[in-house]
Structure 1
Amino acid sequence: MRSAEYVADIAPYFTQRPIIAVNSAPTSFNPYVHGARGLFSAMVFVYHVYHSGLPTLPIVRGSFLETIILDSMKFGVELFFGISGFVIVGALARTASMKAFLWDRIARIYPTLWASLLAITLMALVAGRPLPPMGDWIANFVTPPPFFDIPMVHPAAWSLGYEMTFYALCAAAWWMRGQGIRWWLWIAGAAGATLMILFPRSILMAAGVMIAAGLARPLWMDRLARYPLPMLLLFLLAWRMIDMAAGGRIRLMSPLHADFGQWIMLLPAILISGIIGGIALLGIERGHGAIGRTLRSPAMQWLGTISYSFYLWHPICMAVVKFGLTRGGFIDHLGMWSQAVFFILSLPVALILSHWSQIWLENHATRWLRGLAAPRRAAAIAPAPAGADTLRDCP
C-alpha cells in the first residue's frame, strides 16, 4: 500500500468533519525534516559540551544563557522523537508485513548502537571503569523499553528504548489492521496515549504521526506553523520551564515516578507544550521561514545524513578529548576557555567518525542486514521512489 492510500485509509477514523483537509501524503524524503535531524543532533552536542564540567566563560555561568538556553538544548531528543513519528507513516505504508517492518527497524538501529556500545565497553575496561552487571550489559544491546530500569552503558542510548517501543506499538497496530480488527486505530491510539502519559518525553511522536498522516487540524495551527523558529524556541522555553518545575528531572515527570499531585499540576503544561512543539515541526516540515532555508543548506543536509551516528558517537569522542585535555594538564592553562576549546576539538573528531560510521554501519551494514530478509519479501514490497533513501528515517 502506498502512502497516499494509507492516509486516505486512516483519516476517517480521526475526524468526520475536518476543519482543514490535508490530502498530501509524506514523500520518502523531505529535505526540511532531513536537515532538522542535523539541527537537533547539534543541539544535543552543544548541551553535552555545556555539561562537560569544564571551566567556562563568566558570561555563561549562572546566566539566562546557561539556565534556560543551553539547558534546553537537551530537548533536541524530544524533537527527534517527533521526526520518528513523522517518518513512521511512510515506513509502514511501504512495508510488506509486521515482521518486515520490525526487521527494518532492527537493521537500522542496532549496527551503530552495537559498535558504540562495544567501543564504550572497551574504553571502560582499559580505563578500569566499572560496567553494569553482565545481564544489564547485555540488555543494553536490545534497547529495553523505558519502563525497565536498566543502567545505561551508553549515556545517549536511553532514547532508543523509546524508539523501539514506539516501533513495536506501530507494528502491533499495523498487524491488527491487517487482521481486520475494526477498532485497531482506537486501540493503538489508547495504547500510545497511555505511553505518553507514563513517559511524557515521547509526546512529539504523536505530533509527528499526525503531521505525516495529513490529519485535519484547526486553521490557527497552520497559521502559527508559518513561524516555525519562534514556535521552536517557545517549545524549548516551555519544556525547560516544566523541567525546572520538576526539579531538573523531566525524565521522571511521570505518574510512575513523580508525586501524583505535582504530575497532575504539570500535565496541562506538558500537553500545551506538546502542541507547540507539534506546530514547530509542522512549520519545519513545510519549510517555512528562514529556518526552512537553513535546513535545506548543504551543511545541514550532510549533518542530517550523519545525525544518528553523530548522536551516538559524539559522547565517546568528547570523552576521549576531555581525557586528553585533563591528563595533559591543559585545563589549568586554558582556564575559562576550556569549554570553548573542548567544543572546537571535539566537533571535528565527532563529525569525521560519524561520517565513516554512516557509510559503513548505517549504510553498508544496514543494507546487508535488510538484504538477508529481502528474498522472502521482494515481491511484496512496492519500490520506493527513485532517489529515496529509507535509511534516513530514524532517530
Structure 2
Amino acid sequence: MFAFLVFVFHVQNSGLTPLFGSERLSSLLAPLVFGVELFFALSGFVIVGTLARASRPWFFLIDRLTRIYPVLWVGVLTVVALSLLSGREAPATYQGWTLALYTLANMAGLPNLIPVPLFLAPAWTLSYELCFYILGSIYLVARRRWAMNLFPLLLILSLPIINTHPRTLFFLSGILVATRYGRFLRIPGIEKMPALALLVFLWSWSSAWTYYIEALEPPSYTLVGWMADPHILYVVIAFASATLFLDALVRGAGWESTFLRSQVALYFGTISYSFYLWHPVVMALVKAGLKGTGLLAIAGSLSQLLLFVAALPPSIVVSHASQRWLERDLTHFIRSKLRREANVSARPVRAEAT
C-alpha cells in the first residue's frame, strides 16, 4: 500500500499536465510521497522482529542484506545499461573508472552516506536502512556475547542520522510498535481508526515538511532546527499518528486491517519492495513510449491518468518477476550458501588423535 502511494506521487510529479488541469488536485496528491516514511516505520518494525529471531548477529545481517541487495543490484545495472544505450543523462555522463566506481557504490547502497550520485532514485532510502542494520548487529553482539543491553546507547547513536535526515525519524515509530511501547500513544476512540491516523499523519508531516524545505536553511536544516519553532508541533503530531497508524494495523483494528489481510493486499505486500524500486524505471520507459507515439499530446489534461493506466500493469508484472526470481530464488541461494559457510567457520576445530 505504501509503495502504491509513492507510485501515485511519481505519476503526479511526472512533469505532465496536471489531471484535468487542476493544480489544486496536484497539491492534494503531493503528500503521498510520504509513503516512504511509512516504509521506514514498517522497516523499524521488521528489524526488531528479525533481531528477535536471529540466532547469530551474522545471520541477522545475512537476512537483511540479502533482502535488499539482489533487487538493488539488478535495478542499478538496468538503469546504467538503459542510460548507456540512450546516451543521455546520468549515469551515461560518467565514463571509465568513475562510472565503474559510482556503479559499485550504488550497488552497495552507499549514496547519501558518501558523496556519489544516486542512479536508482528510490534506492536513497536503503542507505539509511543499512545504518540501522549495522546498529542492530551491534545490539545482537552485545546482547548475545556479553549479556549487555545497548539499546539506549544505540538509540542515542542513531540520533545524528535522524537529526540530519529527519525522514528517518519514523524508523522509531516501527520500533515503538514492535516493542509494544506504541500502546502509550493510543488515543481512546481513535486507536481503532487507522485511516484517520493516516490522514492526520499525511496532513501534519506535509505541513512540517513544507516549512522544513521552504523556510529552514543550514545549519537549521536539521530536526534540531525545528525545535525552537512552533512547527515542531507538526512533527510531534506526525510521529504520534504514524505510530498510532502502524500500531492499529498490527493489532488488526479497523476495516483497513481487514482489507490488508485480503489476498489482493497480501499479494501487493509481497511484491511491494520490488514494486518500490522498479516502478520509476518502468514508468520512465512507458512515458517515453507514450511521448514517442504522440499519445501524451492527444491525452492533454488526461495525460497523467494515461500514464497511470499504462505504467501500472507493466510495473506489477516486472515486480512480480523480480520478487520471484530475485527476492525469492536468488536470495534463498545466497542465504543458504552464506549460512552454510558461516556454520562451517563456526564449527570448533578438534585435535587429531595421536
Both structures adopt the same fold (TM-score exceeding 0.5) = yes
Say whether residues 1:62 and 2:23 are aligned partners. yes
Q: Alignment partner of 2:120: what SS? A: coil
Q: Secondary structure at the match of 1:334?
A: helix
Match in the other structure for 2:73: 114
Separation (CA, whole Å) in 2 of partners of 1:199 and 1:140? 19
Letter in 2 for 1:176: A
Deviation at 1:145, TM superposition (A): 6.6
Q: Give distance in 2, aligned partners of 1:320 and 1:124.
A: 11
CA–CA distance in 2 between the matches of 1:257 and 1:212?
Answer: 30
Structure 1: gaps spanning 5 or more residues: 1-38, 380-395
2:351 matched residue in structure 1: none
Corresponding residue of 2:237? 272
Structure with the larger RCO, 1 or 2 (CA within 8 Å, 6+ apart): 1
Q: CA shift at 1:171, angstroms?
A: 1.0
Corresponding residue for 1:291? Answer: 256
Offset at residue 255 of structure 1 (A): 5.3
Question: Is this contact kept in 2: 1:198–1:254, CA < 8 A?
Answer: no
SS of residue matched to 1:156: helix
Identity over aligned residues, as a percent? 34
1:147 offset after TM fit, Å? Answer: 4.1
Q: 2:160 aligns with which of 194, 218, 227?
A: 194
Query: 2:145 is matched by which residue type in structure 1?
Result: Q
Q: Cα deviation per residue 1:298-338 (whole Å; 9 max; x = unaligned)?
A: 11111000001101111111011010111122222111111
- 3-state SS of paired residue (1:150): coil
Kindly state the Cα deviation for residue 57 of structure 1 after the two structures are TM-superposed.
Answer: 2.8
Question: CA contact under 8 A between 2:177 and 2:183: conserved in structure 1?
Answer: no
* 1:83-122 to 2 correspondences below 5 Å: 83-122=42-81
Letter in structure 2 aligned against 1:87: V
Structure 1 residue 373 displacement after superposition: 2.1
The superposition leaves residues 211-252 of structure 1 with CA deviations (integer Å, 9 ceiling, x where unpaired) of 112237437446532111100110011111112112369xx9
Q: Do the aligned residues in 1 keep the contact of 2:219 with 2:225 (CA within 8 Å)? A: no
Structure 2 matches for 1:121-160, cutoff 5 A? 121-129=80-88, 130-131=90-91, 133-134=98-99, 135-144=101-110, 146-160=112-126
- Tell whether 2:330 aligns with 1:365: yes
Partner AA of 1:66 in structure 2: S
Q: Does 1:236 align with 2:202?
A: yes
CA distances 1:63-82 after superposition (whole Å, capped 9, x unpaired): 1x321x31111111110111
Aligned partners of 1:323, 1:136: CA distance in 2, in Å? 25
> How far has the Cα of 1:58 moved from its partner?
3.2
The answer as to whether partners of 2:70 and 2:331 remain within 8 angstroms in 1 is yes
Amino acid at match of 2:320: H
CA deviations over 1:79-102 (Å, ceiling 9, x no partner): 011111111122111112222211
Amino acid at match of 1:49: V
Shift in Å, 1:254: 8.2
1:83, 1:208 within 8 Å by CA — same for their partners in 2?
yes
Q: In the TM superposition, what are the counterparts of 1:177-192 in structure 2 within 5 Å?
A: 177-180=143-146, 182=148, 184-192=150-158
Asked if the contact 2:207–2:234 (Cα under 8 Å) also holds between the matched residues in 1, the reply is no
* C-alpha contact (below 8 Å) 1:197/1:254 kept by paired residues: no
Deviations 1:116-156 (A, max 9, x none): 11111111001102315433332111112744333110011
What is the deviation of 1:258? 5.2
**Cα RMSD (Å) of the superposition?**
2.4
Cα shift at 1:261: 5.0
Residue 199 of structure 1: CA displacement?
1.8
CA distance in 2, matches of 1:211, 1:260: 24
CA distance in structure 1 between the partners assigned to 2:279 and 2:297 by the alignment: 24
CA 181–267 in structure 1, closer or farther in 2 if over 3 Å, else same: farther
Query: CA, structure 1 residues 171+264, in 2 after alignment: closer, same or farther (shift >3 Å)?
Result: farther
Cα distance in 1 for partners of 2:87, 2:46 equals 41
- Equivalent position of 2:169 in the other structure: 203
Aligned to 1:58, the other structure's residue is in SS state helix
Larger Cα-atom Rg: 2
Q: SS at 2:327's partner residue?
A: helix
> Normalising to structure 1: TM-score of the pair?
0.79
Q: Show the counterpart of 1:175.
A: 141
**Partner Cα separation in structure 2 for residue 169 and residue 109 of structure 1:** 17
Instruction: Please state whether the residue corresponding to 1:157 is helix, strand or coil.
Output: helix
Q: How many residues align?
A: 336
1:315 matched to 2:280 = yes
Distance 1:119 1:239, change over 3 A: same
Cα shift readout 1:30-67 (whole Å, capped 9, x = no counterpart): xxxxxxxxx101001000010111123336x321x321
- 1:348 maps to which residue? 313
Whole-angstrom distance in 2 between the partners of 1:149 and 1:263:
28
Q: 2:347 aligns to what?
A: none
Give the secondary-structure state (helix, strand or coil) at the position aligned to 1:224: coil
Q: Which residue of 2 aligns with 1:27?
A: none
